[in-house]
Amino acid sequence: MLIEQNISLLPFNTFHINASANLFANINSMEDAREIVKQKLPEKHATLLLGGGSNVLFTKNFNGLVLKNNLLGKEIVKETDEHVFVKAQSGEVWHEFVLYCIAKNYGGLENLSLIPGSVGASPIQNIGAYGAEIKDTFYELEALHLNEGYTKTFSLSECNFGYRESVFKHDLKGQYFITSVTFKLSKKPKFRTDYGQIQTELEKMKVTELSVKAISDAVCSIRRSKLPDPAQIGNAGSFFKNPVISNEQYSELKGLFPDISAYPAEKNTKIAAGWLIEKAGWKGKTFGEYGVHKNQALVLVNYGGATGDQIYNLSSEIIASIEKMFGITLEREVNMI
């Protein structure tokens, strides 16, 4: 396995930031991964796992070892009358894996269509969209401890999933290389069409009979109309999480801003951060080569040669302005490197 030096990360992050890594290795097999551990490289160097690079912002050059995950393969590991357990290697492209499940008519991942990135990163922030999160269909994952070299299977409860959260962003941050994820999918899918515009989109598409394919098509169509394509404009999706506030704070804000966009979130209220950022006047603002997207204020964009630092500083200005105007502190969703 080749360990390269001083590699540009430009092709490896959807924000199109031209940072470099002083060490870089492609992980094409479990043997490659074990070799890295055997050579004790993660003990000697700061180590970053990279899938599709669609949820990272490189704020500076990475002084350490980047491991680009290319582990491929998927298999059905168990079947019952109701369910099928599909295991995917972590370097599989998420959307291609979703399409594979849809082609077999396995239900559960269709609302998560077209999310960029790899299968292996999906548990890191418990990816979610259009009323679904991977925790709804997650069965287990396998991970390799980068320093100690053992593999561990994590069950659903051990992952501690929450809204854009898991144990891998907190207590176990940076410790494990997730090598495969197994999903428990349904042979008799229950369709989730209640979220947002799915129903309207299905009507527009003149769908008369619901199917996992129809829902996936509807979700893809909505996403294409809203979110910038990273192949065209550098971005990492929502830059911030939607903040969850108390119902009391929400009532006060609703008094001041009657058109505020919000949703119930268990015993609290989730506020649409895109609404806050738009209301504060940031939507569509451009600063040279970067800015806030014109159609979705929650997405920060790199139009060309912006640095990660510039985008990070813009995000800090947005946080300060939202704090001042609404008394809410936005939290970044994208991983700052």
Q: Which residues contribute to the site for ligand EPU (CB under 6 A)?
A: 129-130, 196, 226, 237-238, 241-242, 261, 272, 274-275, 278, 283, 296-298, 333
Q: At what angle do helices 94-103 and 212-226 cross, to 10 degrees?
A: 150
Residue whose entry in the numeric block shows the structure tokens 């990660």: 308
Residue 296's binding partner out of ligand FAD, ligand EPU, none, with CB under 5 to 8 Å set by partner kind? ligand EPU
Dump the DSSP string for 185-215: EESSPPP---STTHHHHHHHTT--S--HHHH
Q: How far apart are the C-alpha atoms of 322 and 252, rounded to whole Å?
A: 16
Residue 261's binding partner out of ligand EPU, ligand FAD, none, with CB under 5 to 8 Å set by partner kind? ligand EPU
Nearer to ligand FAD, 253 or 297 (CB): 297
Nearer to ligand FAD, 69 or 216 (CB): 69
Nearer to ligand FAD, 125 or 216 (CB): 125
> Rounded to the nearest whole angstrom, what is the least distance from the CB of residue 279 to ligand FAD in the complex?
22
Q: How far apart are the C-alpha atoms of 165 and 337, rounded to whole Å?
A: 17
> Rounded to the nearest whole angstrom, what is the least distance from the CB of residue 39 to ligand FAD in the complex?
19
In the window 75-94, what residues touch ligand FAD (CB under 6 A)? 90
> Rounded to the nearest whole angstrom, what is the least distance from the CB of residue 1 to ligand EPU in the complex?
32
Q: How far apart are the C-alpha atoms of 4 and 217, rounded to whole Å?
A: 40
Residue whose entry in the numeric block shows the structure tokens 């399409």: 99
36 binds ligand FAD (CB under 6 A): no
Q: Which of 17, 33, 57, 178 binds ligand FAD (CB under 6 A)?
A: 178
> Rounded to the nearest whole angstrom, what is the least distance from the CB of residue 2 to ligand EPU in the complex?
33
The residue count for binding ligand FAD (CB under 6 A) is 33
Buried b (16+ CB within 10 A) or exposed e, 289-320: ebbbbeebbbbbbbbeebbbebbbebbeebbe
Work out whether strand 268-271 and strand 262-265 pair parallel, antiparallel, or are unpaired. antiparallel
- CB 174, CB 167: distance < 8 Å: no
Nearer to ligand FAD, 89 or 326 (CB): 89
Active-site residues, by number, are 164, 238, 333
Three-state SS for 337? coil
In the window 215-254, what residues touch ligand FAD (CB under 6 A)? 227, 230, 235-237
In the window 37-76, what residues touch ligand FAD (CB under 6 A)? 48-56, 69
The DSSP letter of residue 60 is S
Nearer to ligand FAD, 121 or 253 (CB): 121
Residue 61's binding partner out of ligand FAD, ligand EPU, none, with CB under 5 to 8 Å set by partner kind? none
The residues pairing with 309 across neighbouring beta strands, listed in sequence order, are none
Nearest to 316, CA basis, from 324, 16, 127: 324
Nearer to ligand FAD, 54 or 269 (CB): 54
Residue 335's binding partner out of ligand FAD, ligand EPU, none, with CB under 5 to 8 Å set by partner kind? ligand FAD
Helices (runs of H) and strands (runs of E) counted in the chain: 9, 20
The Cα-based distances of 24 to 48, 60, 65, 120 in angstroms read 10, 16, 5, 18
> Rounded to the nearest whole angstrom, what is the least distance from the CB of residue 329 to ligand EPU in the complex?
15
Residues 6+ apart with CB under 8 A from 135: 126, 156, 159, 161
Nearer to ligand FAD, 13 or 269 (CB): 13
Helix%, strand%, coil% for the chain, nearest 5: 30, 30, 40
Residue 56's binding partner out of ligand EPU, ligand FAD, none, with CB under 5 to 8 Å set by partner kind? ligand FAD
Q: Which residues bind ligand FAD (CB under 6 A)?
A: 14, 48-56, 69, 90, 115-118, 120-122, 124-125, 127-129, 176-178, 227, 230, 235-237, 335
